[in-house]
Chains A and B, each alone.
Chain A
């Protein structure tokens, strides 16, 4: 990671922590901020997926899979504003589902990285397992919007810490011959 990217990572991580603290102090406003952030993230991901399919993947063998992936993201994005009026337990379900899904992806990638003998696999595995565990606990324990916001704040702080650890990680590499 270049020095500039390290500095940017540290700055964005710091912002994430500030937002997380703000959410805990003002949970009612924080609830809506959280949903808007969620909608924003999905929107960016949808645009990226659609753009990738039409500019690149449509030319490749098996590229239709990436079309379905883009459609899925667009559907999720279009449905996501309903979260503003939906019962909060649905929001919790939605949020925890995303966290759990992200955790499963991390576990799968960590498994692959372990097979490829990448040194970072343990970090990713811990991250993935933590997300899944967190989603399960949150699903069982959550009863109020304050709790939901606190959980989301915790996710933000946790992600920020992981990003800082990643940025500060030593990048020494061992010598390797092919």
Chain B
């Protein structure tokens, strides 16, 4: 997902869930900021580097590819962008421990992890709500990919556009702008290396998972030659409804957040409008989501500005009372929770972690 969904659609979801304009803006901002908060940025503002929620391309390119850098990548990408679905998954037949550790990081919606992500944000800051919305919505967009570099999991072939009924051909040149009308799409090359950053997340599928209009099928490396059909508009709509449910839980309108429950009351009246935005064949839907949000609240939604809260943080005596301070606290809690869960499942792919909540430290012997 991109700024259109993470910022503007998150604003709309928050407003529909009962938050006011200013609160919705903060939630949307924090949601989108998860795609901006790199170690480089945190170094610049002297923030805690452990709170990084993403990595820039130069950061990834300069990562040495050793165990520590792979663990750092996994902590960041699995915690915020590719939430693991089943950390105890099994497969028929014999598979090596190393393979299973990677297989178990495959992202899907409605997991234990997403419930816990929402639960730990409850009662915390608006910024933490925004982080959890980023994580939740990405489980729908990034389904079937893992937040760790892995050729055997994240490689993919045979992409076919179900909208145009044509095979999809990718180039590896990021300077060529993506254009659905011309069929220009970019993906990362296959360097035939198990831990290359080219096979981190959905790089081999290019930006297809990030476009709400796309319907396509492909063959994932892990899928035993079975094709997967992805219906992004339907998935994005469910993501939006689930976000409203979670945000109503934060707002105190429902008592419990349960996976598989999608809001109908607040979203259904806007179904046609939302689906029209989701199905419009465009690589950036910011304008449409912004117009929808402004219609809902009657307020102007400012453009996303990555530096909007930087000065507040730099000037503050108590950093924890600022947007960035609260964002970092939420990010560290989320990263700690997921890293700890991966570690407790018997995997060292994300390194070791203490639970930020209870400071527990225990490893399952299985």
Question: What is A's interface to B at a CB cutoff of 8 Å?
Answer: 1-2, 5, 52, 54-57, 59-63, 66, 69, 109, 112, 115-120, 171, 173-178
Our count of residue pairs bridging A and B at CB distance below 8 angstroms stands at: 94
| Interface set, chain B 35-90, CB cutoff 8 A to A | 35-36, 38, 40-41, 44, 54, 56-59, 61-62, 64, 66, 68
Known contacts A55-B98, A115-B172, A116-B188: A60-B66 contact under CB 8 Å = no
A-B pairs with lowest CB-CB distance, top 3: A176-B56, A173-B58, A55-B96
**Are A175 and B66 in contact (CB-based, < 8 A)?**
no
Nearest to B189 among chain A residues (CB) is: A112
* A120 contact set on B, CB distance < 8 A: 61
- Report Cα–Cα, A60/B222, bound state, in Å: 5
**Are B155 and A61 in contact (CB-based, < 8 A)?**
yes
**Are B64 and A61 in contact (CB-based, < 8 A)?**
no
- Report Cα–Cα, A55/B151, bound state, in Å: 13
* B64 contact set on A, CB distance < 8 A: 1-2, 5
Offer 24 A-B interface pairs, CB within 8 angstroms, sorted by A.
Answer: A5-B66, A54-B96, A56-B96, A56-B98, A57-B151, A57-B152, A59-B224, A61-B221, A61-B222, A61-B224, A61-B225, A115-B173, A115-B174, A116-B188, A117-B57, A117-B174, A173-B40, A173-B56, A175-B38, A175-B40, A175-B41, A175-B56, A176-B56, A178-B2
B249 → chain A closest CB, angstroms: 28
Known contacts A109-B191, A117-B57: A2-B98 contact under CB 8 Å = no
B86-123 to A contact mask, C-beta < 8 Å, 1/0: 00000000011011000000000000000000000000
Q: Which of A2, A61, A119, A174 has the most CB of B within 10 A?
A: A61
**Are A63 and B152 in contact (CB-based, < 8 A)?**
yes
* A119 contact set on B, CB distance < 8 A: 58, 61
The one of A1, A63, A173, A177 in contact with B59, judged by C-beta atoms closer than 8 angstroms, is: A173
* A61 contact set on B, CB distance < 8 A: 155, 157, 219-225
| Contact of B231 with A by CB under 8 A | no
**Are B157 and A176 in contact (CB-based, < 8 A)?**
no
| Contact of B365 with A by CB under 8 A | no
* B312 contact set on A, CB distance < 8 A: none
Q: Which label, helix, strand, loop or mixed, suits the secondary structure of the A interface?
A: loop
**Are B56 and A112 in contact (CB-based, < 8 A)?**
no
B178 → chain A closest CB, angstroms: 14
Query: A59-B222, A60-B152, A176-B38 given. 9 additional CB < 8 A pairs?
Result: A2-B66, A59-B95, A60-B153, A60-B221, A175-B38, A175-B56, A176-B56, A177-B35, A178-B35
| Contact of B279 with A by CB under 8 A | no
**Are A176 and B151 in contact (CB-based, < 8 A)?**
no
- Report Cα–Cα, A18/B136, bound state, in Å: 55
* B220 contact set on A, CB distance < 8 A: 61
* B96 contact set on A, CB distance < 8 A: 54-56
Known contacts A112-B191, A174-B58, A176-B56: A59-B99 contact under CB 8 Å = yes
Known contacts A5-B64, A59-B95: A112-B172 contact under CB 8 Å = yes
Nearest to A9 among chain B residues (CB) is: B64
* A178 contact set on B, CB distance < 8 A: 2, 35-36, 54, 56
* B54 contact set on A, CB distance < 8 A: 178
| Contact of B194 with A by CB under 8 A | yes
- Report Cα–Cα, A117/B35, bound state, in Å: 20
Q: Which of A118, A174, A178 has the most CB of B within 10 A?
A: A178
- Report Cα–Cα, A163/B174, bound state, in Å: 28
